[in-house]
Chains A and B, each alone.
Chain A
Amino acid sequence: DDHKLSKEELEEKYTTSISKGLTSARAAEILARDGPNALTPPKSTPEIIKFLKQMVGGFSILLWVGALLCWIAFGIQLAQGVASAFDNLYLGVVLALVVILTGIFAYYQEAKSTNIMASFSKMIPQQALVIRDGEKKEVPAEQLVVGDIVEIKGGDRIPADIRLIFSQGCKVDNSSLTGESEPQSRSCDFTHENPLETKNIAFYSTTCLEGTATGMVINTGDHTIIGRIASLASGVGNEKTPIAIEIEHFVHIVAGVAVSIGVLFFIIAVSMKYKVLDSIIFLIGIIVANVPEGLLATVTVSLSLTAKRMAKKNCLVKNLEAVETLGSTSIICSDKTGTLTQNRMTVAHLWFDDQIYSADTTQSFDQSSQSWATLSKIVTLCNRAEFKPGQENVPIMKRVVVGDASETALLKFAEVILGDVMGIRKRNRKLAEIPFNSTNKFQLSIHETEDPNDKRFLLVMKGAPERILERCSTIMINGEEQPLDRERAEAFQTAYMELGGLGERVLGFCHLYLPEDEFPDTYPFDTDSMNFPTSNLCFVGLLSMIDPPRSTVPDAVSKCRSAGIKVIMVTGDHPITAKAIAKSVGIISANSETVEDIAKRLNVPVEQVNKQDARAAVINGMELKDMTAEQLDEILINHSEIVFARTSPQQKLIIVEGCQRQVNQGGDGPCHLNPTVFQDAVVAVTGDGVNDSPALKKADIGIAMGIAGSDAAKNAADMILLDDNFASIVTGVEEGRLIFDNLKKTIAYTLTKNIAELCPFLIYIIASIPLPIGTITILFIDLGTDIIPSVALAYEKAESDIMNRRPRHKKKDRLVNEQLAVYSYLQIGILQSIGAFLAYFTVYAEQGWLPNTLLGLRVNWEDDYYNDIEDSYGQEWTRYQRTYLQWSGYTAFFVSITIQQVADLIIRKTRRNSIFQQGLLRNKVIWVGIFSQIAIALILCYGLGSVTALNFTPLRVQYWFVAMPYAILIWVYDEIRKLFIRQYPGSK
């Protein structure tokens, strides 16, 4: 309520003195009580917790269980004196290492991306000029306390919430708080009940644009308005990203399969009279075989690769998982200013001599007219904006200007057409000036003329067209002053309406040569008493300006449309402007109408129009205020092209929530689900102001502007657009969809070999054959040969036109669906397994153990003291000879899986297209993957074949080719499947 109090009451309330300020002692006291004047940073999770989370997330729990079981088995076997007990110890250690290493890796990745963000939020400490003990002092803004008297001047950031006591032409930019980009004047007068609206309060973190002011601090730190919004933002919980949900879903599926198969076979093993300890060891093997240990790391790498790629395209991704979220976006709520438009006012049209001219860079209008000469003079002279010095070599449109947006536009316009504006101004010396203010809505200046023979002064004025017209009695037509009669006035009105209807900001210009006799050389012009005429002027013309849309945006919007993404514009601008921009970028397409348009066309009241007929809608913030959630839903459902104009930032949150209630029709087929149950739209929201942060947080993906965005917005967002360009979002969407497709391929690739790793254990238990592949060998596949190829799939180019699909349905189009799992597990996986088994049986048979001998052999085979087991030829084998052969079997099985994974990699490149259509050479990284895979296998087999603990042996060269026919079979089978898919699409 401080804005209602008088100065004296304020002094009393805060026990301070306006002239002398607080005493240092008192200030210190209050500082101790209230704490520093800074926003509490959002609570960040302690690093150790983050680290531990990585250690127990995903499959880690399962692997920890595996490791623990290993150690238990080791303990028991050690007590029993079993010679091979240490194998279990090693395996447990290896499993633990795998978990820890992948955990560290994931943590490192996350920390890296967090660090990028941290650099954004670093701010330079701010100083404030404060009166304490009767003296002016510079203190860090953090130390301000309630009751301090601070002085601010143009360019300062307001250091706290301040009640103004003294103000001289003070204007503040509240855009970071309210989204209004217009500078707002500030005075000492109480003008509004609402503290947010009243003029005598300036808010923390907003900027003072011009003028000076003195004020008393009334709120500091988190108690300020901005602090309250910031805490509101942190109150909106961070929602899980779709990809996080997908990965969780996937982990659940795989873990479920692993645990249930594990337990099932544990029970089978126990009931087959295996020892419980042996059964536990089987259980470990089954778990290890089932869990794709390397996959989560692969996913992280793929995501960060995409994030890097996106950063190159100006989308900086804060949260890796947000990469994919963008791909599943179904609604984008975009800001207008700066995102869809260039955030640069430009003169668009002129009106003089009763005619509208376009001000396009092509100088198509009649510059010979005397009226134009006059108009251009007014434009040049009645303008306070100036180029910053030292930019002579910079193109005019890119020069930095001191002055507000409209004046800048006019200055650049004049400079382009006339050249040397500053020279003209110098020759027409300015004698007096009244700057623009919102009460009289005009700007006026008086100049000497450059003609030395003409001793008259020139009075030039610009401002709101209707106000300017009021002050005129004549109008200039073709250089002649003519009386301003009704007809002329109507022509003016028509032009004004037409330009306004284009959403452009229109300014009127007029002038008057002051009679020499009345205003001699020495006449003292006084702007306060206005001792010069300000009426009966001569109207010269109109100029209209607009913030033009970015050139790439219309294309991007149409891409969105074909990709099934709804683009909604949310802006604080006037509805007409908003609609004009929306039309020009295609958010409202050329042939669609709003309810109002239809009403106008049919000449009926708005109420009678069937709302279903209108595709487009322009909703005013005032209407939105009175709407219920249901009404908002209705609008969002009924209209496909929506513009929200004059919205307050708080309403943005309401709009986002409304959008999130929408049903995403996603997927290929129609959606039969009940819309009230499923709320699936994935909503992306752009924002730059502090006040946008709740909406950014609430959105499924918040996109902050890198150039115009405030720190708070960047903090709340998941992604930052470095160039503020809407088109970059669309690029992001494309990348996001691509990564989803590619992750699907990666997962399919990874899951396939899990069956080939699992089957050996199952057959081992059921048929009692010597173990075909060891647990450690499995880890070498999962974390060795398979890693690079699965990352390589992330480089796969988009298959079909990825942007012509509807957005992914969050609940229906899963990362891992039934088809993918079944096809990988039950078809390709089984094929792979039998290919590997062929190699296994070949190795054993060629060494003397024919397949029939192997069945049921397990118990004797694994007996440490049975040193003369007969093979099929009657030869006798010692335990170690058998073990060594078993390792050869492991190696052959491993090599076969690797060879077949090459085929798997090639078939996973495409989901529908034949490999011949996609081309084998387009993704070179795939080849790197294949070569690395084979190279790693060669190194393991021949290089490390002598390291006992790894269980690899140098393998005869021909065994590398045993599984080759199966690799070819996999490929042929998949080509046939894809052929069927292309021939009969949509069948289940």
Chain B
Amino acid sequence: MARGKAKEGDGNWKKFIWNSEKKEFLGRTGGSWFKILLFYLIFYGCLAGIFIGTIQVMLLTISEFEPKYQDRVAPPGLTVIPRVLKTEVSFRMADPKTYEEYVAGLNKFLKNYDNDQQANSIEFDDCPDEPGDYINRGPFNNDQGQKKVCRFRRDWLGNCSGMLDSSYGYKDGKPCVVVKLNRILGFKPKPPTNDSLPPGMMGKYNPYVLPVHCFAKKEEDVDKIGTIEYYGMAGYAGFPLQYYPYYGKLLQPKYLQPLMAVQFTNLTYDTEVRVECKVYGENIGYSDKDRFQGRFEVKFDIKSS
């Protein structure tokens, strides 16, 4: 528009920021600014109050002992320790620096399983040393105070307990990983029926153990994977049921979930070997989207020199 050329000029900007005639700053007088700011202070104050109020009301509807819904967290994930970047365990046998990260991870995790951590008999319960049935400890509330938890002895993990070999087999090129089933409050894993297990696992079936099995992910790795040693309670490669159900952080602050360990004693070196471990159970699920639900994958790349 030709007549839009009438310039508003730079003076208008300065005048807008500070108009000395009307004593206006950014188009408002001090009093006006004060009122506006006061309004927003009160307004936002009220809003914050309302928000916190509604959040509190919402929290009132939620029990502190058990979550309202668990459909997103169950079925549980299977976690491998040490936690490794890109699920790749890659080290050089001769160089401890290359695996010290894994060792540290295992040490840190297993520290809670040391005997001296489990001494207190108020918190800890002597559960049977053989796999047994679920131990029900009453309703999910603190009417009976805190619930006891079963002890889990670190030495059950044998060569992978770090008590016999502080490098968990890494210095010999026989790496250990510890496996746990993710905690889910109130979850009672159901062991599989005997016939639904893959061949090769049939032998060590126990009705009170949730078995774990590892195998080569890819067909061509079958030969490279070598022997796999499993360690767990009473030599069972799996999770015994007496540790379930879990009663939550508040009722079982010291809860130790059952572990098992896997050692790869004869891996082919200087090549990538992909291993998958799976836990089997009737209420254990697997998903294409979630590759850590009921299973995990680890890639070994061990350099011999």
> A: which residues have CB within 8 A of B?
81, 237, 239-240, 660-661, 677-679, 826-827, 830-831, 834, 837-838, 841-842, 845-848, 850-851, 865-868, 870-881, 884-885, 888, 948, 956, 962, 965, 969, 988
Contacts and interface: CB of A to CB of B under 8 A. Distances in A.
Contact of B55 (A677, A851, A884): A851
Given A834-B50, A876-B77, A866 B83 contact: yes
Nearest to A953: B72
Nearest to B290: A880
Interface in B126-141: none
A988 B31 CA distance: 12
Contact of B70 (A848, A866, A867): A848
A870 B249 contact: yes
Contacts of A872: 67, 249
B68 A846 contact: yes
Contacts of A240: 1
6 contacts: A847-B69, A867-B292, A873-B67, A878-B292, A880-B289, A988-B32
Chain B's interface size range is 35 or more
Interface string B215-239: 0000000000000000000000000
B50 A841 contact: no
A109 to B, nearest CB: 23
Interface of B: 1-3, 6, 8, 32, 40, 43-44, 47, 50-51, 54-55, 58-59, 62, 65-73, 76-77, 79, 83-87, 180, 182-185, 246, 248-250, 252, 255, 287, 289-293, 296
B77 A878 contact: yes
Contacts of B68: 845-847
A419 B185 CA distance: 104
Given A678-B6, A866-B83, A880-B289, A846 B51 contact: no
A837 B289 CA distance: 28
B287 A880 contact: yes
Contacts of B79: 867-868, 876, 878
B292 A880 contact: yes
Question: Which among B8, B73, B86 has the highest number of chain A CB atoms within 10 Å?
Answer: B73
Given A865-B83, A876-B79, A239 B2 contact: yes
A880 B182 contact: no
Given A876-B182, A880-B289, 13 more contacts: A239-B2, A838-B58, A845-B68, A846-B68, A847-B72, A873-B66, A875-B246, A876-B183, A877-B73, A878-B77, A878-B292, A881-B72, A956-B69
Given A845-B62, A865-B84, A868-B77, A874 B248 contact: yes
Contacts of A868: 77, 79, 180, 182
Contacts of B67: 846-848, 871-873, 875
A273 B264 CA distance: 40
A585 to B, nearest CB: 30
Closest 6 CB pairs of A and B: A874-B249, A880-B290, A878-B77, A876-B182, A848-B67, A846-B68
Nearest to A849: B67
Contacts of A871: 67, 73
Given A678-B6, A868-B182, A875-B67, A881 B47 contact: no
Contacts, number: 137
Nearest to A678: B6
A679 B246 CA distance: 78
A830 B47 contact: yes
Given A239-B1, A868-B79, A850 B290 contact: no
A894 B54 CA distance: 19
A847 B184 CA distance: 12
Contacts of B3: 660-661, 679
Contacts of B84: 865
Contacts of A867: 77, 79, 83, 182, 292, 296
B182 A865 contact: no
A237 B76 CA distance: 71
B172 to A, nearest CB: 26
A846 B184 CA distance: 15
B299 to A, nearest CB: 12
Contacts of A956: 69
B37 to A, nearest CB: 12
Contacts of A851: 55, 59
A239 B3 CA distance: 9
A216 B54 CA distance: 91
Contacts of B76: 876
Given A872-B249, A880-B290, A834 B77 contact: no
Contacts of B44: 830
Contacts of A881: 72-73, 77, 290, 293
A495 to B, nearest CB: 50
A846 B47 contact: no
B289 A948 contact: yes
Contacts of B2: 237, 239
Contacts of B55: 838, 841, 851
Given A874-B183, A874-B249, A850 B59 contact: yes
Contacts of B83: 865-867
A837 B185 CA distance: 26
Contacts of B182: 867-868, 875-878
Nearest to A866: B83
Contacts of A988: 32
Contacts of A845: 58-59, 62, 68
A951 to B, nearest CB: 13
Given A878-B292, A880-B289, A948-B289, A831 B249 contact: no
Contacts of A873: 65-67, 185, 248-250
Contacts of B250: 873
B203 to A, nearest CB: 30
A848 B73 contact: yes
A851 B54 CA distance: 13
B293 A888 contact: no
A969 B44 CA distance: 14
Given A865-B83, A873-B67, A826 B40 contact: yes
B202 to A, nearest CB: 29
A866 B66 CA distance: 23
Given A239-B2, A838-B55, A865-B87, A875 B292 contact: no
Contacts of A874: 183, 185, 246, 248-249, 252, 255
B72 A879 contact: no
Nearest to B71: A847
Nearest to A827: B43
A40 to B, nearest CB: 23
A871 B72 CA distance: 12
Nearest to A869: B182
A787 to B, nearest CB: 29
A81 B70 CA distance: 32
A847 B77 contact: no
Given A677-B6, A865-B83, A878 B62 contact: no
B45 to A, nearest CB: 12
A85 to B, nearest CB: 14
B72 A888 contact: yes
Contacts of A875: 67, 70, 73, 182-185, 246, 248
Contacts of B184: 875-876
A166 to B, nearest CB: 47
A956 B72 CA distance: 12
A865 to B, nearest CB: 6
A838 B54 contact: yes
Contacts of A879: 290, 292
B152 to A, nearest CB: 16
A240 B2 CA distance: 10
| Most chain A beta-carbon contacts within 10 A, residue among B2, B72, B79, B289 | B72
B86 A865 contact: yes
A731 to B, nearest CB: 26
B108 to A, nearest CB: 13
Contacts of A81: 86
A880 B293 contact: yes
Contacts of B32: 988
